[in-house]
Structures are given as C-alpha cells and as structure tokens.
Structure 1
Amino acid sequence: MSGFTRHRRSGRVIATFSGLEADLLRSFASQLIELLRNEAAVSRKHEDPLEAMLSFDGPTTEPEDPVLARLFPTAYPGDVEAAGEFRRFTEGSLRDGKAAGAAAIIDSLEEAGLPPQLGPQRIVIDVELEPAEALVWLKSFTDLRLALATRLGIEQDDDDRWQALPGDDPRSPAYDVYQWVGYLQETLVDALG
C-alpha cells in the first residue's frame, strides 16, 4: 500500500490496497458501526409536539463505553443539565453520521472488488474516490484512530513508549494498525490538499 494520491486529470483520489488491507479496513469500519449502534439511547416522553415530530430523544448522559465517550465528549463539563440537553439534541445525528461514514468505507471497498468473504486468493483493490467521498473517509479515519487509541490507552506525546514495545507484546499489532491508519489519513490529507 503506497497511500492515497490524486489523479491529475480526474481529480479523484486513488489508493491501492491488498485484499488483507482492504479487509482489515472493512473489519474496523464494521466494528465501529456496531459500537455506534449497540449502546442504547434512552428515550424520553415527548411533551412538545415539535419535539416529537423532530424526535429529539437522544441520550442525555455520557456513554459508558470509553470509545464512545471519546467520540462524543461532554460539551459542557461544568453544567450537567446543559450537557445533557446538548447531547440529547446532537448525539443521535452524530452517531448516524459517523456510522454512515464507516459504511461508506465498506461500500467503496466492496464496489472496488473486495469480496464479502476474503479467501486464500491474493487480490488487489484499487479505490477511486471523488473529493467529497475522500472527505468522508478522512473523517472516518479520525474516528477509527480515536477508537484504537482509546482501546490501547495511547496518550498524547507517548510515542517513545509505544515505539519501544517488544514485537511479542500483544498490543504491538494493534499499535501497528493505529500507525497505518494514521499513515492513510496523512496521505489522504496530502492528496486532497
């Protein structure tokens, strides 16, 4: 995988993935969608007809899962009521947007030829994205990296600690994936620039 580049004539953003790389991206995007959809939002009784029509019945408390708490941080840490109201009006649509972005990655990979089940054959997937599609991927890469960083416990400015991990540390492969998604994100930013 050489990262994303921009095609000079069409303006499309292009990347080539091995079947294993494409399947790994699909798997992480699928897991993100599952995480976004599985934590139930607490519904409230609608007292206002407009509220009922617009369905502002999202959750009012911070998600229990640390990844979701990182993806949907509290807007007003010092004001529980304002934070709950903000979350109620915004979190549902934000979850939908993040899930749609992850689904767009899956759709693009499968449209480019990634089979539903990756078999023993060696395949190469060429993905071509319009700039608007590439922006969706870029946002999803951010979500995927935040999820990986949260699960691994990666903190800002602790690169030396992670670089020093021995190869047999069980976190090492996950950290490599975190770095790889960061590389994809960086090349995508460059290609869009």
Structure 2
Amino acid sequence: MAGRFETLPDGGAAVALDEVEISILRSLAVQLMELIGPGDEPAEDADPLAALFAEGPSEPPADPALHRLFPDAYADDTDELRQATAEFRRFTENDLRTRKRDDAHAMVRSLDLAAGDTAGEGGGILKLSPDESRAWLGALNDLRLTIGTRLEVTDDEESEQLYRLPDDDERKPMVMAYLWLGTLQESLVETLMP
C-alpha cells in the first residue's frame, strides 16, 4: 500500500504515509488555501439570502496559477464571448473558490488527525471516507495544476522532460512533489472507480 491508495469496504480509500509525507502534503494544502484566498465573499453579518446571490469578480486572476484554477469559460476572444466569460466568472468563481478551499481544508483536517494518531510512530495508514476521498481528489488536482503552472508545464512532452532534470536544478524539489502528487492522484482515481 505504500504510496498508493487502496479501496476501503465503505467506498473510501486508505494510503500509508510517513511523517514526512504527511508534513509535505499538509504544507502544500495550507499553501493552496492561502493562494486561493477568500475571494470576494460577503461580510459575515450579511443577509444569508443576499450572500447566496453575491456576485464575484468579473476579471480573471492576474496570477497564472490562480487563472489555471479559475479559468475563463470561453477561449475565443470576441467582445460577446469576453462579456459572457465575465458574467460566468461573476456568478461562479466565489462558489468554486469555496469548494477548492473546502477540499484543501478537508485534506489538512484528515492529515492532522493522521499525524495525531501516529505521533511518534513515523507515520501510518490514513483512512478516508468516500466524501473525504472526493475532497482529496479535488485538492490533489488543484495542487498539481498549481505546481504544474509554476513549473510552466503545458503538455505531456514537457512533463516527460521533468523526469530528466539534474539533481542540482532548483526546480527539482517542486518537480518531485508534482510527480508524487500525480501518482497519489492516479491511485485515488483508480480506487474510486467502480
């Protein structure tokens, strides 16, 4: 099971992680939550009905990683489609930010529980419910998209070149995380498929 998810009888998933892996995953998930940020959310004391219909930003994020996480709805660059893209973003981005933050937060919570359960043991088996597994899948995907954007990976050929980086390349730790997250994501997808 080391490094690969396996199916649990309840439809969830389990994976063996050591203390270092738990720490790395937790750190990456916290950084993802910080990157995503709160977005344009209504004030806490706002009317709940008004909050439900709150509008988000209409402009795409300037940060390339955030733009990858919150892409434009339409690729064509006509006035009509630019307006439709802005409208789509305005009505969907806040909810998407919330879901992505919730997924990363679910990852942090389960890792904190695993770290507490295995304190002093060097790691252990992380067991996720079906809902937690889906949240993890979303968080792993978002982490890979973010790191891939930072590494400027745009196609499979560039991804293959990452395997051949020399050990002294400053991108190597980020590349190793990117590849490891891909392995985790792939095994979790396989686990969740019926």
**Same fold, TM-score > 0.5, yes or no:** yes
The alignment partner of 1:168 has SS state of: coil
Q: Using the aligned pairs only, state the percent identity.
A: 38
Q: Does 1:86 align with 2:84?
A: no
TM-score by length of 1: 0.85
1:42 is displaced (CA, Å) by 9.3
- Measure how far apart 1:36 and its partner are: 0.8
Count of matched residue pairs? 182
Note if contact 1:22-1:125 (Cα within 8 Å) is conserved in structure 2.
no
Q: 1:174 to 1:122 in 2, by over 3 A?
A: farther
**Structure 2 match to 1:34:** 34
Q: Which of the numbers 62, 68, 72 marks the counterpart of 1:74? A: 72
The Cα offsets for residues 29-63 of structure 1, whole Å up to 9 and x where unpaired, read as 0001001116x5499xxxxxxx9453422000000
| Distance (whole Å) between structure 2 residues aligned to residue 130 and residue 82 of structure 1 | 38
- Structure 2 distance, partners of 1:152, 1:53, is 36
Alignment match, 2:46: none
Distance 1:95 1:186, change over 3 A: same
Aligned equivalent of 1:13: 13
Aligned counterpart, 1:141: 140
Alpha-carbon spacing, 1:14–1:58, altered in 2? closer, same or farther (3 Å): same
What's the counterpart of residue 176 of structure 2? Answer: 176
Letter matched to residue 2 of structure 1: G
Alignment partner of 1:17: what SS? strand
Distance 1:99 1:42 in 2: 13
Query: Partners in 1 of 2:84 and 2:4 — Cα distance?
Result: 42
Aligned partners of 2:22 and 2:115 also within 8 Å = no
Query: Tell me, which stretches of 5 or more residues in structure 2 are unaligned?
Result: 43-48
Aligned AA (2:19): G
Secondary structure in 2 matching 1:128: strand
Q: 3-state DSSP class of the match of 1:125? A: strand
Distance apart, 1:122 and its partner CA? 5.8
**Structure 2 counterpart of 1:100, from 99, 102, 109:** 102
**Tell me, what secondary structure is at the counterpart of 1:169?**
coil
2:171 partner amino acid: R
Correspondence 1:108-187 to 2 at 5 A: 108-114=110-116, 123-157=122-156, 158-187=158-187
Output the aligned Cα RMSD.
2.4
Paired residues of 1:19 and 1:114 also in contact (CA < 8 A) = no
Task: Return the TM-score normalized by structure 2.
Answer: 0.84
Between the aligned partners of 1:146 and 1:69, the Cα distance in structure 2 is 10
Q: CA-to-partner distance for each residue in 1:110-129, whole Å, 9 max, x for gaps?
A: 122349xx9xx562132111
8 A Cα contact 2:41 2:54, kept in partner: no
Instruction: State how far apart, in whole Å, the 2-side matches of 1:70 and 1:142 are.
Output: 11
Deviation at 1:173, TM superposition (A): 1.3
The correspondence of residues 26-65 of structure 1 with structure 2, limited to 5 A, is 26-37=26-37, 41=40, 52=50, 54-65=52-63
